Chain A
C-alpha cells in the first residue's frame, strides 16, 4: 500500500519530466527558454556537489541552503511564537478577539509583497528584511487556524477538566492545546509553505547568499538552468520541511500523533 502510494505520488512528476524531455529533444521549446533536463541535472549536480573553481555556481548550494533555511526557521519561529498564543487568546477570550481582530484582519488584507519596500527602508537589505517578510506572511495562517481550533472546543471538555481537578491555567496545556492540535498543525504547515514563498521574495532584494538570491543572480547573468535548479530545489526543500514539521509535531505531541 505504502509503495503504491509513493508510486502514485511520483506519477505526475514523471509525466512532466517525460514531456519536458521530449519537447527539449525535439526542439519544440528552444533550450534558451527551457533548458534540456540533462543540462538541469548537470548544473544542479555541479551546484550541489561541485567545488568552487569548477564554475560560477559550483558548490555554493550548502551555503545558500543554510542561509535560506536559517531565515525561514527564524521567521517561521517568530510567526509561531506570536500566532499560537494570540490565536488561543483570541479564540477563547471574546475581549481579546474584539481587541485584536479588526487590526489583524486589516493587516491580513494587505498583500505581503506591499511590505517589501517598507521593510527595505526599515531594515535595509539583508537578513532582517527577509525574516520580517517571512514572519509577517506565516503569522496569519498560524494565527487564524489556531483561533479556529481554540474556538471550536466544546465547553464540555473544560467542564470535564475542571471536575477532574485541572486548574484553569493548566487546562490551557492539558486540554486546550491538545484539542486544538489538528488546527494548530494545519496552520503551522500552511505557514511553513508560505514561509518559503516569502523567503524568495525577501532574497530577491539583493542579499549575497540564499536560494532566492541565486535565482535572482542567475537571471541577471542569463543562467536559466540555474533558475530552474533553484526552483526545483526550493520545491523539494519546501516539501521536506513540511514532512519534517509534521513528523516532529507527531513525535513531540501525543495529540498530534493521535488526532491527525
Chain B
C-alpha cells in the first residue's frame, strides 16, 4: 500500500503543459434566500490527450464543474481556460455526453448523430456515409432508423457518444454516462470508450462516482470532496491498458481511492 501513495500528487504537476486549466473556481447557487456554495476554490489542470476521471459523492458538484467547462454555466468566480482562452460559452471544441438521456426524441438514431453536422442535413451522400461510420464505431449498425424511445439505455448512451464524436471535439466531457447501465454492459462500453480514445486524439474528462470505473479508465483520478468542496486528492494510475480488473494492482488502487472517498 505505502508504495502506491507515492503516486499521489498533492499539487498538479506544473511542468505539464495544460490544455484545460481550472483555476480557483468557485460557484454558488442561489436558493432559499441564501447562496449555497457548491464549488470552493477548485483548481486542476488537464494535459492534451489525457483521460482524467473526476470522482466524488452524489451532489458534490461534479456536474456543476462540467457545466462550467462546457460553457452552460458561468462560475461565480475563478477561471476556466481552454488552451489559454477563457471559456465564455458553448463551443465546437467541447462536447458533453450528459448524465441523463438528452437525445432528441423526434429524430432517429441516424438523424440524432447527424444533428451536429447540420449545415446540409442527411440528404448529402457524404454525410450519410459518415454517420454510418460512426454508427458502426459505437456498434449500432442496423439501428440507424430507430427512434430513441425504441432502443435501450445503453444504446442511447452510445448514440449520445457517437453524436459528439462525429464533431471530433478536442475535449470530451462525460457526465456519469454509464451510470444507469448494468455491470456487464457498462464494462463493454468502457472498453469501447478506451478503444475510441486510443484511436483518436481526444482529451476526456470523465465524471463518475464509481471507483472501479475510475480506475479502469483514467490516467489520473481527481477526487472532489463533498465537505470541503475542493479537489482533495489526485491519483495517477500508471497501469497498462487493457486493464485487468482482477489484478492485485487494480484492486489496490480501488482500495486506495475508496479510502479517499
Contacts and interface: CB of A to CB of B under 8 A. Distances in A.
B104 A156 contact: no
- The B interface is mostly helix, strand or loop, or mixed, namely loop
Contacts of B100: 156
A258 B72 CA distance: 29
B12 interface: no
Interface residues of B, number: 24
A163 B96 contact: yes
A163 B104 contact: no
A156 B102 contact: yes
Contact of A156 (B90, B94, B98): B98
B155 to A, nearest CB: 17
B118 A259 contact: no
Interface in B97-116: 98, 100, 102, 104-107, 115-116
A163 B105 contact: no
Interface residues of A, number: 18
A181 to B, nearest CB: 7
A164 B163 contact: yes
A165 interface: yes
B87 to A, nearest CB: 12
A159 B107 contact: no
Contacts of A163: 70, 90, 94-96, 164
A258 B106 CA distance: 6
B106 A178 contact: yes
Interface of B: 67, 70-72, 89-90, 92, 94-96, 98, 100, 102, 104-107, 115-116, 118, 147, 163-164, 167
Given A159-B98, A160-B104, A163-B90, 9 more contacts: A156-B100, A159-B70, A162-B90, A164-B116, A164-B167, A179-B105, A179-B106, A254-B106, A258-B105
